Structure 1
Amino acid sequence: MRHSAAMAVVVSATLFCTPAFSEDLKAYKLTVDGVSVDIDPGEDATLALPNGKQARVRLEPNAFATFSGGSFSFVHPSGVTVTKTNLSKGLDQHLMASAVGSMVIVQEYSNMNPVMLNQLMLQEITKESVRAGGKLTQKAGSRKLADGKVLNGLSATVKTRIDRVAYEVMSYGTTDQGVIVITSLDDDNAEADRPMIDRFWQSLKLHMDE
């Protein structure tokens, strides 16, 4: 009986304490004039300010955000994350990918001019599809940015029996730095993802001296 009673006390205490640990955690902390409140995007909250007034606040994400690397920046949908990976000394890769796989890759070189690597990069990103029977076609291409800088490179497609993917490999460099930009867009996802890639090209800025 004593054992049963002790078990009942433990169970009761556990149930009593559980709500404190199951409280939902919020993604952000909003601070106004030293007063903080935890809040999720799209949520309303009330702040009791030091002057005694109550303030209603709401946290909403913008549709677009700016991502900045060491020598470039561009605008992207705020719901799409840009990841950075250090591939080697002097080489960082920045990847933006949609939920269905359309991609923008910016490789940032801080100790060399990469403009001679366009063909190598195209071969690297298409080799699996070509090995699987895809037909690669390519031609010279270029992209002129809003500030007048011109990236030169290759436009290509890989066509298989069931799909077609368009690629661009463009580069820009100075004496000892530069970028290679790679985009890929499947025909099946073009309607949904082309605006993301178009926005990238329209907003891309290169911050490097000639």
Structure 2
Amino acid sequence: MAGVIAVMLASAPAVSEDLKAYKLTIDGVSVDIDPGEDATVTLPNGKDARVKLERNAFATFSSKSFSFVHPSTVTVTKTNLSKGVDQHLMASAVGSMVIIQEYSDMNPVMLNQFMLQEITKESVRAGGKLTQKAGSRKLADGKVLKGLTATVKSSTDQVAYEVMSYGTADQGVVVITSLDDDNAAADRPMIDRFWQSLKLRMGG
């Protein structure tokens, strides 16, 4: 099909039940459409083209210093915690999480124990038993993140955590994952794909 296809978010206000989430433009002709829907577009040459907008199963999230693949149905949010520190959060519907704290002016590798204490303190206060040991993750490009693996076990559930970090002289990341045993079957693939696809764009 000749021409450039552009997909953009529809910008009209949500005042109609029929408003679609996306606008598909082909050779200057636009049609509103939702993922999974079919539509017919009449091109400038008079010919009709049948189009369908489908969501890819996975997408790539990129920041200045890292990228990873995630399910396209799961949103990655970014929060600026302080000067030089951004936090990126990916959470499933049942609460399994991947958190990446991105440091642009310091090496954060000494923060592993502190981060583990912070993310588990409420569960421990409620009576959960924390066990931990040293751990590491080797990425596809050979970079190695080092840190801690841990579990918090209570009378009702058990949650597995990883806190791993990587840094150079003046930048780095801390990666935290959280996975409840009850949700492991559904959410472990999301976390496994994250680790398999994580790329760090920094030296070392």
Q: TM-score scaled to structure 1, two decimals? A: 0.89
* Cα distance in structure 2, aligned partners of 1:172 and 1:22: 48
Partner of 1:35: 29
Do structure 1's residue 76 and structure 2's residue 61 form an aligned pair?
Answer: no
Shift of 1:183: 0.1
Match of 2:44 among 25, 43, 50: 50
Runs (4+) of structure 1 exceeding 2 A deviation are none
Larger proportion of helix: 1
Which residue identity is paired with 1:54? Answer: D
Structure 1 vs Structure 2: percent identity of aligned residues? 86
Q: Secondary structure at the match of 2:169?
A: coil
* Cα distance in structure 1, aligned partners of 2:95 and 2:16: 35
Q: Secondary structure at the match of 1:29?
A: strand
Partner of 1:133: 127
Partner of 2:147: 153
Going from structure 1 to structure 2, the CA distance change for 1:43 and 1:121 (only over 3 Å counts) comes to same
Going from structure 1 to structure 2, the CA distance change for 1:22 and 1:144 (only over 3 Å counts) comes to closer
Shift of 1:22: 4.0
Partner of 2:175: 181
Question: Structure 2: any 5+ residue segments left out of the alignment?
Answer: 1-14
Shift of 1:137: 0.2
How many residue pairs get matched?
A: 190
* Cα distance in structure 2, aligned partners of 1:196 and 1:66: 13
Q: TM-score scaled to structure 2, two decimals? A: 0.92
Shift of 1:34: 0.7
Max radius of gyration: which structure? 1
Q: Deviations over 1:6-30 (max 9, x none)?
A: xxxxxxxxxxxxxxx6451000000
- RMSD in angstroms over aligned alpha carbons? 0.7
Shift of 1:209: 1.8
* Cα distance in structure 2, aligned partners of 1:171 and 1:23: 47
Shift of 1:202: 0.2
